[in-house]
Amino acid sequence: MIDCAAQAPGARHPGSGVVVLMVAALLASCSSPAVVPSTSAPTPSASTPPPTAIGSISAPTSSLSISLPPSSAGRIVFVRFQANADHYDLFSINPDGSDLHAINPGYSIGFAVPRWSSAGTVLAAQSQPNGCACGDTDPLGFGFETILQDAKGTHFHLHLASSTISVSCAAWTPDDKSLACEGWSAMKAGLEGIYTVSASSGGAVTRLTDAPGGFHDVPGDYDATGQIAFVRTTYAVLGLGEIWVANANGSDAHKLTDTLSTYRISWSDDGRWLVGTRDGYLEVFDLTDLTADPEKLSFPGGTASEPRFSPDGSRIVFVFTKAGSKTTSIETVARDGSDLIRLTSGSLDRSPDWGAPGF
């Protein structure tokens, strides 16, 4: 769900919330779960059902060449579309724009939404194996493998043992023991919600939230206490949703603000700030005063999307799309909108994440 529908120019879907500028050739074998649009938001529930274990995953290991130089300020990882090969490659770069590094050269799988672990030592990325075996067309019941990689080159795939649900994992728990994933099934209604899976040896797939009415819950980030912020796709046609928060076990799920955001959101390390996007600008929410409108950061000559906070919460990395062009670049800006720095240019670069200096 994170990638297939988004790769068509102008397409939107719950796993991305932004226009992803890709070639349509990758879509030949893709299918995305349907999301029911709405013109009105559901009534927030005071709580969600307790976590439910629904399956398990297996984690076969193999090796992959990887070289990630250490950095005192962490590393920014992102995906770059290679038009000549019709796939994504995974790259990392220093926050000052130096030392651009290909992580998976020659490993021709469509990566999307890479995420550093909290410690900055392991990287999770979604992939589309075998030319986008999307969702419920796959006999194993998943559309996107999650590949975990460490700085030494060890990696393994998480495969669902259940044939009833697809997951797309996009957030690490603070202790790095689990991944939070968007879950759904095109074969069976009512499975939409957030699920967690073990990130070490495999284990139970546990449901945290229950999205009503065919909407989807897209995980954003955890704070240090274990609360998870996510977007409920209440306005899927517009690529927008409400920001919600729940406890680590899924309890006390509640809407945080009536202000809508696209589906990529990020939480600062101190728990004070949430950043999202809407209408091409960054929205920075101050959680100490939710009665105030979010601060809007706009950028002349283009639009912003896919924001992620730096490990210390002082800066935001995001995708800048040049006006009138499909060119995207990775840029960073101070939380208050000052000190804009362009890290990449002239390519289709997307889905950045800023990892802690963990190796």
Domain spans of the chain, in order of start:
5-28+52-355
Contact (CB, 8 A) for 93 and 78: yes
Q: Which residue from 87, 104, 112 is spatially nearest to 1, judged by alpha carbons?
A: 112
- Tell me which residue has tokens 């689990």: 178
Sign of CA dihedral 147, 274, 276, 308: negative
Question: What pLDDT is attached to residue 202?
Answer: 53
Kindly calculate the radius of gyration of the chain based on its CA atoms and give it in whole angstroms: 18
pLDDT at position 128 is 54
pTM listed for this prediction: 0.77
CB 348 within 8 A of CB 21: yes
Closest CA to 357 of 65, 68, 67, 64: 68
Distance between CA 207 and CA 197 in Å, rounded? 9
Tell me, what's the pLDDT at 326? Answer: 83
Average pLDDT per consecutive 10 residues, the chain (359 residues; last block may be shorter): 32 32 24 34 42 42 38 80 75 90 62 81 68 36 56 57 71 91 86 88 78 92 94 92 96 94 94 96 95 94 96 95 92 96 88 84
Question: How much is the pLDDT for 104?
Answer: 64
Give 126's strand partners: 112, 146
Per the structure block, which two tokens stand in for 205?
């797939």
Fold classification of 5-28+52-355 is Neuraminidase (2.120.10)
pLDDT of residue 268: 95
Q: Exposure string (b/e) for 5-21, b if CB count within 10 Å is 16 or more?
A: bbbbeebbbbbbbbbbb
What is the largest distance, in Å, between two alpha-carbon atoms of the chain? 50
Neighbours of 120 (CB within 10 A): 21
Q: Are 89 and 105 in contact (CB under 8 A)?
A: yes
